[in-house]
Structure 1
Amino acid sequence: MSDLSAEAQQQDAALLRRPGPERFHTQTEWLDSFHSFSFAGHYSPDWMGFGPLRVINDDVIAAGRGFGMHSHRDMEIITVMVDGQLTHRDSLGNSGLLQTGEVQRMSAGTGIVHSEMNEADQSCRLLQIWIEPSKDGLAPSYEQRAVHLRANDWTPVLDPLDPEAMAIQRPVHLWRAQVARGKTLELPSVEASQYWLQVIDGEIELKSLSSRNTLRKGDGLGFRGRPTGLQSLESRCDQSDLLLFALN
């Protein structure tokens, strides 16, 4: 066995896979939610988050329902609107619609109260993400943007140095990509201590020097340090929808 092969196999062993069907699941009359990490009444010491990434909730909210006014503090909350629309109201005076393709950033800081209601006549789907800030006690803030995705490429959503993207109170990068069948992506050239890949929809093949792994809707994959053995990601369906985090 060559040194390169041994290194590649070590990289594969270091990958942390979170299969979508094994996520925690909350089902009520109006909410269908899958939790990648421990959340609310769901707890496992093995799934308390990944570095500063604490929550990835994949929520489907029924028409006319939602989350009433509730509070947060000392957490960076990012909402990626996958389908439909959601009405946001908060104690900072912000009020409006979050629609398909838009992303909301809310820095809870010293405290914020908000509601998220689906006031439309059809269900909506979103991913809500919580990331720990670099320090507590910061002033709360809010921002919302439409993200115009590049074809078959990573589009920055969070980037502390890119004025075209949003930034949170931690040096985190987040990209979204929608990839057509047979198209491949390389990892962005950003150095980070940890990465997390989340499949919103579709199916991808993860190609490394020693193996190939298939990831499907709801699957997550974490890796610590830049994986030298990882070559590319290839979409195996008409359109795969992905999020990639670079975490420090």
Structure 2
Amino acid sequence: MIERRSFDSLGGADHGWLKAKHHFSFAGYNDSRRMGWGALRVWNDDTIASQTGFPPHPHADMEIITYVREGAITHRDSLGNEGRTEAGDVQVMSAGSGITHSEYNLEPGNTRIFQIWIIPDERGRAPSWGAKPFPAGERAGRFVTLASGFKEDNDALPLRTDARVLGATLKAGETTRYTLGHERYAYLVPAKGSVEVNGVHLDARDGAAIRNETTLEVKALEDAELVLVDSAP
């Protein structure tokens, strides 16, 4: 089962400095049919204006993954961490027992991100943060694990949940495959370009809610950049 969720059908808000689209219910957008997908709870498509951002605010007991699509985001938190994550790269904040952080676009132009929240397997653990570059060339023609709750994914950023976040870049006409485990939930969004997933057409920034599919065959109809979450029910 693959349910296409067109970009135009997503909830959202325009705060001036922030233009947000929500794949799932979030803040002022509430849709009882879109409360999450397996352990995946939030997927926000945010455009942040230059020299603006999210001022310090708290979180607890959530795995928060930021995939930077364009520009860069500068992170600071109550643990003393500070870092700048550029386009194509990823940061993970495990909020755990509680953390306060800010995320600012200090670049001369807009920054565009996917912000993904996944429910952790345990509550109350010590908070943490980390970031890592993932060069687009290493994801050419295949899915690469960017963040993972599985020990065997040594090169990925760690998650405290039964899930993986993956990325791929495909040239027009290229096809790649991904195998889903039994009863897994997947959610796929093309950050750029249009694709077919098991024959279902997706345009850029559309979402695909996937379950009961053992293999995903993704064909790029034009040059494409993909982000995929594979999570427990």
TM-score with structure 2 length normalisation? 0.93
Q: TM-score, normalised by structure 1?
A: 0.87
Change in Cα spacing, 1:83 to 1:150, as seen in structure 2 (3 Å) is same
Task: Give 1:105's aligned residue.
Answer: 92
Please show how residues 1-248 of structure 1 align to structure 2 within 5 Å. 14-148=1-135, 149-159=138-148, 160=150, 161-188=152-179, 193-207=184-198, 212-225=199-212, 227-228=213-214, 232-237=217-222, 239-248=223-232
**1:172 corresponds to which letter in structure 2?**
A
C-alpha separation between the residues in 1 aligned to 2:201 and 2:162?
A: 29
Q: What fraction of aligned residue pairs are identical, expressed as a percent?
A: 36
CA distance in 2, matches of 1:231, 1:36: 20
Partner Cα distance (2:208, 2:108) in 1: 34
The structural deviation recorded for 1:174 is 1.6
2:218 maps to amino acid: L
1:4 equivalent in structure 2: none
State which structure, 1 or 2, has the greater radius of gyration over its C-alpha atoms. 1
CA contact (8 A) 1:21 1:218 kept: no
Unmatched tracts of structure 2, length 5 or more: none
CA RMSD of aligned residues (A): 1.5
Question: Runs ≥4 in structure 1, deviation > 2 angstroms?
Answer: 14-17, 188-192
Q: Secondary structure at the match of 1:187?
A: strand
CA distances 1:90-133 after superposition (whole Å, capped 9, x unpaired) = 00100121111210000001100000111121111111000000
Q: What's the CA shift for 1:168?
A: 0.7
List alignment gaps of at least 5 residues for structure 1. Answer: 1-13
Whichever residue aligns with residue 228 of structure 2, its letter is L
- Provide the aligned length of Structure 1 versus Structure 2: 228
